[in-house]
Amino acid sequence: MTIPPTTTVKTTSPTTNPHHPSSQPPLHTLLSTHDFLSAAALSFSPKTHAFVTSAATDCHTHRSNSHTYSLITLRPRILRDVSRVSISTRILGHPVSSPIFAAATSLGTTVHPEGEKEIGRACKRLGVGMTISTSASFSVKDIAGVVRDCETEGGDEEKEGIPLWFQLYVDKDRSKSEKLLQHAVEAGVKAVFLTVDAPVPGKREADERISAKEAVGLSSGVPMTGEKAANDKSGGGLGRITGKFLDASVSWGDIAWLRGCLPERVKIVLKGVQTAADAVRAMEAGVEGIVVSNHGGRSLDTAPATILVLLELHKCCPQVFNQMEVLIDGGVMRGTDVFKALCLGASGVGIGRGILYGLGYGEEGVRRYVEIMNEELEATMKMCGITSLDQVHPGLLNTRAVDHLVPETVEEEHPYAKWRPSMRKKVV
């Protein structure tokens, strides 16, 4: 679609963002998630746009996440009564109105002054889950408090108590992480998503090229980590600079440490599983769930598209779907993408950058972004002949165009290249 001239924008609209009021197209003109991307390109500050849209090095994985969905085709079914459909489901044991949830995103105030608070309000009114990042612009207590207040204001009993999850980056100073976890538990989070795909920050060159001094909304730093944005010799990348606290020593043995920090009722989910081998190990470690994720292509470039990893789990370790919940994020832009992930066993589908694009319009923008995807998901279900999410299954998809890309074993072996450094002939 063609975005209307910015001269038609009413800056007094409740959906106007004071960070960038003069260049936003009216929210009602945005008809697809791609329109939100176009609006962000027009209205976000250069630094904010670089931070939100950037991905690791050459951005292959970022593009592949989305493109690979288009290679998997649907197999529509006809002449079935689809006059009524429901997209309600359960994620990690909690009822939600949609399988779509807000994935963890950082530094929300770079997009909107109310940042993650607006995301929380939107998720409450939508009835969907929300993941609160360690690098959020507000404390987990403040965000959870806003959600509770919104529940009181909304008066919708059916949507009370949306699941809040806490995404944990482990600090080199473990006592700081333990304190954060205590605050998260006190705030009522239902699960902790331990990020395992970013032992170090990825190299995001678009973000590095623009000075951190140009960032808006970060004058006080990141409240839960104490990090502040500042340039160094490597550039001005917000993700890298504010991620200096990351503990690269985190290992499988630390799951026991994490379990000891949490009451039994709080579930543990590993966020960032990218191979069948690690999915099996997560299952054996006794965690309640995994998120198939590559950090939105922001960590390691040329890592596999997440939907391919979901197929790898089916081929190599299908038992994991019966032993723990499998969630997914990365590259999801359409309701058809959500449908495909659900057909391949995902119980929930996370949206990260898209939530931030919606946040450019505040709560109402986040709600509209998710509503568009919900509407597309419902339409896809009807055209494929199903009326509820307990009817999805792999047979509604044709994956042959990508099947050759899916590894066939959980073993950490190449199918034919067996070389090892120890086999190299030593030069005397």
Residues tagged active-site: 169, 197, 295
Enter the tokens of residue 184.
């998260």
Q: Say which residues have a Cβ less than 8 Å from residue 260's Cβ, sequence separation at least 6.
A: none
Q: Pinpoint the alpha helices (H) of 165-204.
A: 174-186
Cβ atoms of 196 and 246 closer than 8 Å: no
Cβ atoms of 354 and 333 closer than 8 Å: yes
Q: Which helix (H) or strand (E) holds 166?
A: strand 164-168
Cβ atoms of 36 and 369 closer than 8 Å: yes
Would you say how long the chain is, in residues? Answer: 428
Enter the tokens of residue 93.
């044991």
Distances in Å between the Cα of 110 and the Cα atoms of 48, 73, 105, 136 are 6, 37, 11, 10
Give rounded-to-5 percent helix, strand, coil for the chain: 45, 10, 45
328 - beta bridge partners?
A: 292, 349
130 - beta bridge partners?
A: 102, 164
d(Cα 160, Cα 153) in Å, to the nearest integer? 11
Strands 73-74 and 397-398: antiparallel
Side chain identity at 382, as an amino acid letter? Answer: K
d(Cα 58, Cα 65) in Å, to the nearest integer? 14
| Cα 126 from chain centre | 17
